[in-house]
Amino acid sequence: MGLMLLLMLFAALPILSAGEGAFVGVNIGTAVSNIPEPKAAVQLLKVQQIHHVRLYHCDSKMLLALANTGIEVIVSVPNDQVVGIGQSKIIARNWISRCVALHYPATNITAIAVGSDILTVLPDAAPFLVSALEYLHSALVEFSMEQIKVSTPLPSSIILDSFPPSRAFFEHSWDPVLVPMLKFLQQTQSYVMLNVYPYFDYVQSNDVISLAYALFGPLPKNEEHVDSNTHLQYTNVFDAVIDAAYYAIGNLNITDVPIVVMESGWPSKGDASEPDANVNSANAYNSNLIRHVLSNAGTPNHPGVAVSTYIYELYNEDVRQGGSGSENWGLFDKNGVPTYILNLTASGSLLAHDAAKDLTFCIARDGADEKLLLAALDFACGQGKVNCSALVQGEPCHEPDTIAAHASYAFDAYYHENKMGPGTCDFKGVATITTTNPSHGTCIFGGNSRDGTGSMSPTSSGSKLQFGGAGAFLVTTIMLSF
Ligand SMILES: *[C@@H]1O[C@H](CO)[C@@H](O)[C@H](O)[C@H]1NC(C)=O
Ligand SMILES: *[C@@H]1O[C@H](CO)[C@@H](O)[C@H](O)[C@H]1NC(C)=O
Ligand SMILES: *[C@@H]1O[C@H](CO)[C@@H](O)[C@H](O)[C@H]1NC(C)=O
Ligand SMILES: *[C@@H]1O[C@H](CO)[C@@H](O)[C@H](O)[C@H]1NC(C)=O
């Protein structure tokens, strides 16, 4: 694209293109059993180079732990407090005093998210929403903290006719709330917080939306999503929803309020009715989302305009109600072990820090078929060139003398020898990644130990036994022992 054209675009979109790059942040839900201490959570954020987080309530311990970390924080007013705050300047002021003024600026609070999806989840509170925003903002002004933005996360489901995006509009019954709200956001130089879930759009679309389109492609040649008015082509649901939101906002005659995606994600596990809630799709969605956001590509109708996005969410929320489909949106389990290793080649250091990978080990999957395990073990110690001498009788990893234990040792060695690259912990599906260090006694597995002391496996020496006949021998001995 020519420089002139770019300049013209920017000139046409004065505020939307603030010129700053987009960032990716993370939501921190707390429906986690034995939730990590705030210090541990902050340590995880640092290791993963996550510099933007959103908290779902005024969590003073977490706010304290985030002080002086350089991490930017959005604090939320829970839905059940919106009516109270919207009815009383004093309640609003108390909230700001306790949840913001007490911690700022040591804790870099940059915005307040007032409620979440109020219009659809708690419509009775909607009449109080705008006054809640205004009262909180006034209190911030009183504390001379008006640089802190106030907004409210909106569900993308209030956008009707969202394809083609140029035809999108908000459900008109919400105009009495949305018009003053958008004016408030405009006047206070705040932004629209939008929750964007291509997963739900896909699941609820009766096959109108393809999985590839929801996951950022690649789309099959015969699948095209062209906006018939603008002739712009859409390659993913995420962009289409953002552009639909810009149009819907524009329909209310507001054109210069930026959009930040407050929540977006994909579940890595679900129940039988949710087959696309799986690790592969979750990894593809979040990896592609992060790369897309950080590329600053913007959307087809607003190219180059940053759409910063907060991923939903940091931890799997194992005590969240609603079944496995709502418990498994996390990038990590509560031990800080990645649910999957994101594929973020060439997109900077976010969530791609090696330390995350050092935390993982590759072991035999529970209940895996023993014949397949044996074949995989043979492969790892043979063609896979793992030094399996530690498994021989009398050597450190011989006990427990089971196929699964021996396979785990070999899988892990192979995984680490191959730098934990994609596909190196699979073995036709009988292997799985874990963060629990399987080392025992003098049998040391290949990953660095969790506390970072860095004990390395025997396999890290560099030289390897070239198993051939020896591999067959090893397998034979193992088979004999069963
Ligand atoms: C807090 O974040 C804002 C927004 O990025 C930044 O401008 C400011 O310098 C930060 N403040 C501190 C104390 O780090
Ligand atoms: C937007 O502006 C148009 C033209 O000025 C006007 O007809 C319309 O009523 C306005 N809509 C709203 C929601 O203010
Ligand atoms: C990682 O992403 C790149 C770029 O989209 C893609 O070409 C590659 O196949 C992905 N790798 C895996 C293992 O998914
Ligand atoms: C295999 O590992 C053992 C120690 O477990 C070591 O003594 C041996 O030299 C290694 N073999 C090769 C070829 O690296």
pLDDT in tens, 391-431: 999 999 999 999 999 999 999 999 888 877 767 888 988 98
172, 181, 253, 254: which to mutate for ligand 2, most atoms within 8 A of CB?
253
How far is Cα 317 from Cα 334, in angstroms, rounded to an integer?
8
Taking the CA of residue 288 as reference, the ligand 3 atom at the shortest distance is: 5
Please list the ranges in the chain whose pLDDT falls under 50.
1-19, 353-355, 448-482
Q: Is the CB of 422 under 6 A from ligand 3?
A: yes
φ and ψ at residue 349, rounded to 5 degrees:
-95, -10
What pLDDT is recorded for position 304?
93
Q: Do the Cβ atoms of 235 and 217 come closer than 8 Å?
A: yes
pTM: 0.73
Q: Do the Cβ atoms of 151 and 190 come closer than 8 Å?
A: yes
pLDDT tens-digit series, residues 15-73: 343 346 899 999 999 999 988 899 989 988 987 889 999 999 999 999 999 999 999 99
Q: Is the CB of 255 under 6 A from ligand 2?
A: no
Half-sphere exposure of 385 (CA within 13 A, CB side): 7
What pLDDT is recorded for position 469?
27
Protein residue whose Cα sits closest to atom 5 of ligand 4: 390
Taking the CA of residue 179 as reference, the ligand 2 atom at the shortest distance is: 13
23, 74, 108: which to mutate for ligand 1, most atoms within 8 A of CB?
108
In one-letter notation, the amino acid at residue 297 is A
> Nearest bound ligand to CA 175?
2
Residues facing residue 432 across a β-bridge: 363
Taking the CA of residue 108 as reference, the ligand 1 atom at the shortest distance is: 1
- Angle, vertex CA 63, rays to CA 28 and CA 191, nearest 5: 65
In one-letter notation, the amino acid at residue 481 is S
> Nearest bound ligand to CA 67?
1
What pLDDT is recorded for position 94?
98
Q: Do the Cβ atoms of 467 and 381 come closer than 8 Å?
A: yes
What pLDDT is recorded for position 199?
97
> What is the dihedral angle through the alpha carbons of 113, 78, 45, 96, rounded to the nearest 10 degrees?
60
Q: Is the CB of 21 under 6 A from ligand 1?
A: no
Residue found by looking up tokens 């591999």 in the block: 471
Ligand 1 centroid–CA 105 distance in Å is 9
First-to-last alpha carbon distance for the chain, in angstroms, is 67
How far is Cα 240 from Cα 153, in angstroms, rounded to an integer?
18
What pLDDT is recorded for position 474?
32
What pLDDT is recorded for position 454?
28
What pLDDT is recorded for position 459?
30
How far is Cα 19 from Cα 84, in angstroms, rounded to an integer?
38
